[in-house]
Structure 1
Amino acid sequence: MASRNLTRTKVRSVLAALGIVIGVVAIASLGMLGASLRQQATQDLGSIGDQLVVYPSSDSGEYEPLTDREVREIERVATGATVVPLRRQQHSVSFGRQESHMSVYRMAKPGAPYSANMGRVPDPLRSGALVGSETAEQFDLEPGNTIAVNGSTYRVRAVLEEQSSYSPVDPNDAIILPFDHSNRNYSQVIVEAASGQDANATAMSIKGQLNQRERTVSVFEMSSYTEQINSFFGFLNVFLLGVGSISLLVAGVSILNVMLMSTVERREEIGVLRAVGFQKRDVLKIMLTEAALLGVFGGVVGTVLSVGIGALVANVAIQDPSIVLDASNLQYLALAFGFGVGTSVLSGLYPAWKAANEHPVEALRG
């Protein structure tokens, strides 16, 4: 009976359901967009949350580079972790007629944090140079080429894979060279632990051991980036869901209006139903079923559209449309569908109560 009543006023029912469709699409699509962006950002971070960066403390106002003794102490404390000391400099780099000033990192074990896109990363690095992806593109370099760094020549051993912008050392537009044994001071040390939990424990151990007498080093935990990203996208998701919820509230008002109009137009019908023995709860059930059917119809259509729109947006934003079927995104589809049906039922409560409480005699008079 409820479905038949809705089909009698098809245009009005479709327009009421359209509001639910728009609300469901808004909530699901915006929720999936936020979740997809957070997942992509987390993937870009990769295992960066397992890394620490140890660098000289500048509390005293003077910059003192890390020494061999301090690096050995870090290696002793960071049990089970990979320790990569390095020194950062700025040098003139030339290849053929091209010349540029860029960052040059000197490290002995580049094979720990980096891998090659072309060529091979020797570990340890004793000769030659490793070039970042942007540097290779800028100079049109490939393994076997010879470059000049501050007047000294080096043969390119490998072109490195592009690194995340969150990497503690960004070699994309830089060059990595072996250590110059005449200078064994270090600007920082990268420590890569087995897990984020181990990284936190290692950070505490390093600070406790090296800062016993005075603050010698500072330790930056890369996992803080992950926490900041999760916090930001958590807030963004709440905001986007709030925006989408507004459209569902508007749809709820539309359904309330439709159901009230239907109650007025069907007073005589309701009176007949009460006269032939229908109880208040029966009338209430019919009216609420109509509201629920509007919600289910709008929710199903909105969910299907949300999947299509979400895949399109994901393809444009992160070039991966399949991410909309990830479990974290499917929960937004379920949330939007449930919210749509719930809004419809709540919007139909007052009209249903009003219809159920119509006096049969008064209703028959119209």
Structure 2
Amino acid sequence: MEFTINQIAQLLNGRVEGDGSHKINRLEKIQEGKPGGISFLSNLKYEPYLYTTRSSAVIVSADFQPSKPLFSTLIRVEDAYLGFTQLLESVEKLSKPTFYGVEEPAYMDASSNMGTGGYRGAFSYIGKNCLIGDRVQIHPHVYIGDGVTIGNDCVIHPGAKIMRRCRIGNYCEIHPGAVIGSDGFGFAPQPDGRYKNIPQLGNVWLEDHVSIGANTTIDCATMGSTHIGKGVKIDNLVQVAHNVHIGENTVIASQSGISGSAEIGKNCVLAGKSSIVGHIKLADNTTVGGNTGIMKSITKPGQTLLGYIGMEMKDFLKSYAVFKKLPDLQNKLTELEKKQ
């Protein structure tokens, strides 16, 4: 595929600064740019590369002002990151292979129904009494258990498993190896020291526009639903335990874990390796830093929490400033003890 800079600018509602007639045939990182490529500059940490890149075009925000001469033509848009994302989406639509029809062998029980315009890949399995919407892509080696419902325009990538009675909304994407509706970790201690399995009879409910990363697991509820709200984006290798509720438009990064019956608010951010204990609530718009553990409910919205045991960011930074000084304080204390 090849387009002129002017054509790309028109797609992004951008303004060209330089020669817009150059042809673009690939997307490139700004630090690796070569003629014929297009890059973007959003994080000013990468600004030095703008003056050395050989990309034919660079997408920048409208208010950005370069401080040195440039090789590249600029495309000015309202937000460079969002503009480049829009370009990626357009390229994906043009280059993405089209899947439709039924490959063999693929199995769907006679009691189940799938809408029009869909795709069933080889070795996929659809159990009894399933209801699947229009234009759904079910890739090879996908397992869909009995009684599952899936809305329109969903993509279930190879090797994903959706267990019995789970509900998937519209425009959801479940990446390879994800497991939706695995049994929750429920065991009752017995007088003799053994643990008795507690049946997990609930399901998982994903609302619309949810994305689940590769090899992420979401446990079914003991009763009711483990609920993932509209627009939630979950990265690879995340564990969501039974009866958890995650509010809409929350994002969760890789290797995070959420224990049973925790309630995560709307528009929250959980950075990598963060952990949430069970049966607590996290207020809306809370940001949990990487490797941070949340041990109690957070009721004040909009906080940023850091530390092994999550603290409000200002308190954590004050404590950390003291922590760094502990060796010096210890030496001073030792000197004072010697003088006594």
* TM bin (shorter chain): under 0.3
Larger radius of gyration: 1
After TM superposition, the score normalised by the length of structure 2 is 0.20
Structure 1-normalised TM-score? 0.19
Structure number with higher strand proportion: 2
